[in-house]
Amino acid sequence: MGVQFDAYRKHVSGTKPLQFTPTLELDIIFDALDGCEMDCPGCFVNTKNKFTTHDLENIHRLTQEFKDQGIEANELFLGPTDIFDAVNFDQLVDEPLFDKLIEQYAALTFTSTMLTPYEELKRRVDKLMGMMAPYGKRFELFVVIDIDKYIDNDRTYLDHFDRNLEIIKNIDVRLKKQVNIFFIANFYPEMFDRVSIDELNMMIKRDYGSKFKINPSFARATNSKMIEKQCKMISDLLQNQVNDNTIRNVFLNMVDIYFGGDTFHALTYTKGKLYVAPFLYEFVPLTTNELEIKPQKDGRFYMSDVFRKKEELAIEQYQHAMTLPHCSSCNFLPNCVARNHIQFMKQHKIANCVVPKPLYRTSFKASEY
Ligand code: SF4
């Protein structure tokens, strides 16, 4: 048995008071990390990335503009790679403006395979935690788990993985902060050949006391045929394997139709450019021209341009949906427009429904999925 985290219990039994549910929120996926040697199954991330102080200034200013208008800066998601394996980890954490940026957000989220050599991983975790300790915010760590090796009980992998997890055991106690640790894996077609999604959830709950989440990394690829195929596979799989009894075991905020919709301003900032981030199982950092928000002549990004872009996208999507027989008469169309699914379908010339809509729920609370 590995290290036990208590994210599962918190997410199943905890309640989220209404006053803590923001009516409008800003979430930014900030591609500040560079380089990753992990080669995880199903990964389509371009790991080469350079950020500059100018990028930090840009996001800091834009975030402040949202906050000044009363929009909660909720989550700063550091991407695109494993934070503890990134080549520029120290450069980023030592940057004074980075400190100011995370201060603006309620939560800092990052991903790690937890496979970096033990001593180096420990040094990096301690350094990051030391920097975060003064702030009253929550942390979310997505631990990437290799499902095949986990099911095979590959001891070479698991012994190293479990030993490294000891480093983050009780960091919530150390920091006196809410720390959510979830397990995640990129979706790939053979993923559930040997184990059902419910069995996998139960195994991770038993072994780590945590929840498991599917990451749709394929949505970042460029091969439209493959994307359409995998969208259908993941949707069919969920519809076949998840029912009213098991749905609460699955960490699937996709089925909460309000999540990722109109009240969320989700943006991706990468290589000096800003994009609207569609929500498809997760906020997906796509970098297509159609999603790009252009800077003004002074090189800065403004909130009004974000709103304008979102309006343009909504109009274009309603127009395109009228050409799609399944979508034009669907009750969930406003939700799919708000999540930018129709734009995604247009880009990849997909005509059929891309989501598991029979599982959609209108009465889920955040604490229930
Ligand atoms: S993608 Fe599916 S759920 Fe969304 S509008 Fe089209 S048919 Fe409805």
Give the domain CATH number at 26. 3.20.20
Instruction: Report percent pLDDT > 70 for the chain.
Output: 87
Residue span of the structural domain in which 280 resides: 2-368
pLDDT of residue 47: 55
Q: pTM of the prediction?
A: 0.86
Closest ligand 1 atom to 353 CA: 2
Q: How far is the CA of 243 from the centre of ligand 1 (A)?
A: 20
Which ligand 1 atom minimizes the distance to the CA of 327? Answer: 6
Residue 145: count other Cβ atoms within 10 Å of its Cβ: 25
pLDDT per position as a tens digit, 132-177: 877 767 788 999 999 999 999 999 999 999 999 999 887 777 777 7
Helix axes 118-132, 155-168, angle to 10 degrees: 30
Across 53-58, average pLDDT = 88
Q: What is the count of structural domains for the chain?
A: 1
Token pair listed for 286: 């796509």
Residue 18: CB atoms within 10 Å: 7
**Cα–Cα distance measured from residue 152 to residue 273, given in angstroms and rounded to the nearest whole number:** 42
- Ligand 1 atom 2 nearest Cα: 353
- What the block records as the tokens of 108 is 């800092």
* Ligand 1 mean position, distance from CA 351 (Å): 10
Ligand 1 pocket check for 330: Cβ under 6 Å: yes
Closest ligand 1 atom number to CA of residue 354: 1
Q: What is the mean pLDDT of the chain?
A: 85
Is the Cβ–Cβ distance between 283 and 260 less than 8 Å?
A: yes
Q: How far apart are CA 184 and CA 110, in angstroms?
A: 12
Contact 202, 248 (CB under 8 A): no
Going by CA atoms, what residue is nearest to atom 4 of ligand 1?
A: 336
Look up residue 244 and give its two tokens: 């009213």
Backbone angles phi, psi at 280, to 5 degrees: -135, 95
User: Residue 252 has which token pair?
Assistant: 């699937």
